[in-house]
Structure 1
Amino acid sequence: MAAVAEREILVALLDLTQGEPAARGNLRAAVRVTGEALDRFLGRLGAEGLVSERDGLIEASPVQRLGIAVKAVELGADLERVCRALGWLEFEEMTAHVFEENGYEVRRRYRFRAKGRRWEMDVLASRRPLVVCAECKRWARGLGNTAAKRTVETHLEKAGVFSESLPKLAGRLPLGGWRRAVVVPIVMSLTPSPLKLYSHVPVVSILELPSFLSELEGHLDSLAHFPVELPPPRPRPSQTILRGR
C-alpha cells in the first residue's frame, strides 16, 4: 500500500477514535482504499500494538493514539492536521508515561503558588537528583515562530520560580532524603524540531525523549538548570514513655 493511503487511514483513525471506538464500516467509508488493503493495514497496526479490534469496533488507547499520530507524521501526513486530532491531555499523558518508563516519579499538571499567583507544570518528573519540568506543546511549525519562542521563555521563567519555591514544596513531592536537586526545564513536541535549543532550554520530541533522559546528566552544563539545596528532613518528635510507679 502506498504511503499516501496509509497516512490517510492513520489520520482517519485519529478522527474516529476520539473518545470512543471506531466502527470498521465508518473507517472504510472515510478512506479511499479497498477493503482488502484496509484489512491488511489494520492487521499490521494490530501487530505493532497500535490498535485493537473486537466485534467490528476498532479501539485505540491514548498511548496507542499518540503512536498512530507519530506514524502518520513520519509517513508525511500534514502535522497541523494530525495535531488537531490529538488531544492535549493525550500528549501530556504519553509524555508522563515515557518518564515513568525511564524510572521517574511523575506529577501530572502540578500546581503551586509563588509570588502571589498560581503556576502549573504539565509534567513534573523526578529521579534523584533531577527534577524535570516539562511543557508539552503540539506545535505545527516547530520552534521557528515568535509565539513558540515566547512559550520557551515563559517556561524558563516558571522553572526558575519553581526552583526558588522547591525548598518549601519538597515535603509534598517524592524527594524524601534528597539534600540537593537540579531543576531542568524542557519543552516537549510531537515531532523533532529543527532547533534543538532556545535560551538553553532543550526542545525534545516524544520519540527522542528516552535517549534524551538517558544522557541528560552528562549534558547539564550546556542546558538551562537550577541547582537547589533542600532542607534536611525534620526529626520526628521523641516520645515520652511514662513508667508506672
Structure 2
Amino acid sequence: MTQIGLRLLFTMELLARSKEGEVKLEDLALSLQAPPSLIEKWLCDLKTKGFMELRGPEGSWIVVDKLGLALEAISLGASPESVSRWLHWRDFEKLCLKVFELNGFRTILSFRFKAIGHLHEVDVLAIKYPLLLAIDCKSWGIRSGKPSMLREAVKRQIKRVEALTSTLPGLKKRLGLEDGARIILTAVIVTLFEESLKIYAGIPIVPISKLNNFIQEIHAYLDSLSTWRMEL
C-alpha cells in the first residue's frame, strides 16, 4: 500500500473512532499495522492544522474539528459519502455548505427569517448571482419508507421557499443583494446516499457524492426545476 493510501486509512480510522472520544497512538499503529513514529508524525500534522488535540498524561488524542478531518480525508481521495457516514447531522450541513463555497457561492448556515407571522429556518442558503439556493440537508441512513419521507421533506422545503420569496425584498441587505437584482430562487435536498427518488415536484434530490457535479451543471438543469423568479 502506498503512503497516501495508508494516510487515507489513518484519517478514516480517526473519523470512525471520533465517537469513542480519546484515541491512543499505540492502538492506531496496531490497527493500521504502521510504525508508531509515522502515526505520531501524522497526528502532529493534524494537530498543527487544528483538527486534533493531545490530552492527558497518557498521551490520548481527541478529534476537535471533525469537519476539517472529513475534508482532509476527501482531499486524500475518500468519497464524500463514505466520509459523511461518520459525521453528525450538523457537520453534514457544514460539509454541504463547504461544497457550495468551493464553487464560489456565498453561504449562510441555519438561515432564520420571519414570514407571515412564522419563524422559518433553511439549513444552508447559497448565493451566487442570479442564483439563490435553499438547501435542506438530510443525513439519513438506511431506513424503510425514505421515498415517502423525502416527498414530505420536499413539500416542507417548498413551503420555506415560498415563505422566503414573500419576504425576500426585506432581506436583500442581510443577504447582500442589490436593488433591482433579478433572482432565481430554487430548493435542493442533499442526501447522504443516492436515493431512488431523484426529483419530486421539480425539486432535485442530490446525494452528497454528486453534489459538486450538480452545482457545476445547475444552469443546465434550471429549466426542468421548480424555480421562483423575482426582481428585488
Name the TM-score class by shorter chain.
Answer: 0.7 to 0.9
d(CA) in 1 for partners of 2:113, 2:80 = 35
d(CA) in 2 for partners of 1:196, 1:17 = 32
Distance apart, 1:219 and its partner CA: 1.4
Q: Secondary structure at the match of 1:147?
A: helix
Say yes or no: does 1:138 pair with 2:143.
no
d(CA) in 1 for partners of 2:142, 2:178 = 40
d(CA) in 1 for partners of 2:178, 2:170 = 13
Unaligned ranges ≥5, structure 1 = 2-6, 231-245
Say yes or no: does 1:184 pair with 2:191.
no
Distance apart, 1:213 and its partner CA: 1.4
Q: 1:13 to 1:179 in 2, by over 3 A?
A: same
d(CA) in 2 for partners of 1:63, 1:136 = 18
Distance apart, 1:156 and its partner CA: 1.4
| Structure 2 counterpart of 1:161 | 163
Greater alpha carbon shift after TM alignment, 163-172 vs 190-199? 190-199
Distance apart, 1:53 and its partner CA: 7.5
d(CA) in 2 for partners of 1:67, 1:103 = 20
Contact 2:51–2:68 (CA under 8 A) maintained in structure 1: no
Q: 1:53 to 1:160 in 2, by over 3 A?
A: closer
Distance apart, 1:18 and its partner CA: 4.5
d(CA) in 2 for partners of 1:66, 1:217 = 26
| Structure 1 counterpart of 2:70 | 65
| Structure 2 counterpart of 1:16 | 17
Greater alpha carbon shift after TM alignment, 202-211 vs 179-188? 202-211
Q: 1:52 to 1:181 in 2, by over 3 A?
A: closer
Contact 1:125–1:132 (CA under 8 A) maintained in structure 2: yes
| Structure 2 counterpart of 1:216 | 218
Unaligned ranges ≥5, structure 2 = 2-7
Root mean square deviation, CA, Å: 3.9
d(CA) in 1 for partners of 2:173, 2:80 = 42
| Structure 1 counterpart of 2:204 | 202
Q: Secondary structure at the match of 1:149?
A: helix
Distance apart, 1:122 and its partner CA: 0.5
Contact 2:112–2:120 (CA under 8 A) maintained in structure 1: yes
| Structure 2 counterpart of 1:108 | 109
Greater alpha carbon shift after TM alignment, 8-17 vs 206-215? 8-17
Contact 1:126–1:174 (CA under 8 A) maintained in structure 2: no
Q: 1:72 to 1:126 in 2, by over 3 A?
A: closer
Contact 1:139–1:189 (CA under 8 A) maintained in structure 2: yes
Higher Rg: 1
| Identity of matched residues, % | 26
d(CA) in 2 for partners of 1:202, 1:158 = 15
Contact 1:132–1:184 (CA under 8 A) maintained in structure 2: yes
d(CA) in 2 for partners of 1:129, 1:208 = 22
d(CA) in 1 for partners of 2:79, 2:174 = 40
TM-score normalised by structure 2 residue count:
0.73
Q: Secondary structure at the match of 2:218?
A: helix
Q: Secondary structure at the match of 2:113?
A: strand
Say yes or no: does 1:150 pair with 2:145.
no
Select the structure that is richer in helix.
2
Aligned length: 214
Distance apart, 1:154 and its partner CA: 0.7
Distance apart, 1:25 and its partner CA: 3.2
Distance apart, 1:12 and its partner CA: 5.0
Q: 1:67 to 1:161 in 2, by over 3 A?
A: farther
Contact 1:189–1:203 (CA under 8 A) maintained in structure 2: yes
